Amino acid sequence: MSRAEIDTMLAEIKANNMKLDTCPRHDFSIVLDRHTKQPIESATPAQRFGAKFQCARCAGIVDGIARIWYERGLKHAVNA
């Protein structure tokens, strides 16, 4: 991997983190295809496996595990 590719990847990560950090409350309802990174309208369970999820509010992207923990944290906060 070239230095330019690394710099581009790092810039994309930083931009995604900025989106995620500034969003007041995420809505990770947009399922992204794991290969094309394009939204899937009616995702099947097989398509959701390994997919990324995009916030409908800030366009930040997380993996499925991060989405699960975020949603679990919201449930815990409501019950606290």
Q: Read off the pTM.
A: 0.87
**Average pLDDT over all residues of the chain:** 94
Q: Is the CB of residue 42 less than 8 Å from the CB of residue 51?
A: no
- Spatial neighbors of 28 by CB under 8 A, at least 6 apart, are 53, 54, 55, 56, 62, 67, 70, 71
Amino acid of residue 4: A
Predicted confidence at residue 10, as pLDDT, reads 97
- Spatial neighbors of 72 by CB under 8 A, at least 6 apart, are none
Domain locations in the chain? 3-79
Q: How many CB atoms lie within 10 A of CB 25?
A: 9
Per-residue pLDDT of 47-60, as tens digits, reads: 888 899 999 999 99
